[in-house]
Structure 1
Amino acid sequence: MRLHIAYKNYSSWSLRPWIAMKVAGIEFEENLLPFAHGDELAKLGARLGVPAKVPMLEVDGRVLWESLAILEYLAERYPERGLWPADAGLRALARCAAAEMHSGFTALRTNCPMNCRASKQMTPSAAVEADLRRLAELWARFEAADKPTGDFLCGAFSNVDAMYAPVMWRVRGYGLAVSPAFARWAEAVYALPAMREWEAAAQAESWTMPEYDAVG
């Protein structure tokens, strides 16, 4: 199983399946493709006949090129790893939130790109403020849900936490505020050994993307 990703400092979509697989203990080979500093990703996409975007998962002679599809595949292949909660109602809530992250929060994602090396204080726009309020509403819904005890949205870490993991870096890196519930979750995500491994690699990268570094 081979996971193709991009910059650990900047690539939010790469982080999602990577952190899910690490926390779940799923072994994989990692291939990092710095797409703004070379053409390896373009060549890979052309060879595999898929869009030249990350992440991509090669497994059993097939290629998966979309983050949420990768997470669903992993949950089906490794049902014992708890990548979705066991309770049907909680699982449906988690899937709704994951899909909302996948297609929404445009202002937050556009104006606050993931940058693990960022440590700034940003005054959010009205559109970003609206996204932060929506995050607070989602976290309140999970807080009110009947779920197992634990630090994550469904108790134990699951795919919905993986989908929102880059938001932790956005809120942390730009000095944004969401809610006390979100802050507790963010601290738990940041404390994961896998996340600290990701951060160390991001800090060690020499590639820079000035258009991202200039934000804030």
Structure 2
Amino acid sequence: MSVIPRPELVQGDDGLVRCGWSGTDPEYRRYHDDEWGTQQHDPVRLFEKVCLEGFQAGLSWITILRRRPAFREVFHDFDVEQVAAMGEPDVQRLLGDERIIRHRGKIEATIQNARATLELDQPIDQLIWRFAPPSRASAPSTFAEVPAVTPESTALSKELRARGFRFVGPTTMYALMQAAGLVDDHLGGCFRSPSATGPDDGHDAARLRG
């Protein structure tokens, strides 16, 4: 991978220009290319993202991403009813599972969030997407232009907390918005940026030549 003149972007050995945070890790690159910033409306996957963003608090996202298969296994692929039925024996079992993040508060929050989801008066995807902000007029040029918290993420956090959700602070909820495509923070010049144009959904336009 070669670094291109703007340090916020990197060019992979496949010729595609990406946001610099995608780095060289194949799983991180796949996540950048296929998931981050892609609109997600599946209620199960959105519930999963809420929970995993909570687990990510204080850690790097790649730490969570590498453990996601194990998280899906131990939390029944984030089936809300099955997670809501988990109890203290399950918490104790997960606290001994080295494949996941062994944090009692975050494990218990996942179970509580499932129970809170079952109590919602509307599907969780509809609730979350109510807080989607207007589309950006243009893609951010640098990471400095990408906020950590917005009025919309603060409002979503307040709404979820009022409904009994935990580990859903404003910063965590903005990360959720990025991950689930409520906002698209791919930098200008990245082949996934909304400003990328050309054949193959911008792939060719984003290649560096020479």
Q: Same fold, TM exceeding 0.5?
A: no
Structure with higher helix content: 1
Larger radius of gyration: 2
> TM-score scaled to structure 1, two decimals?
0.30
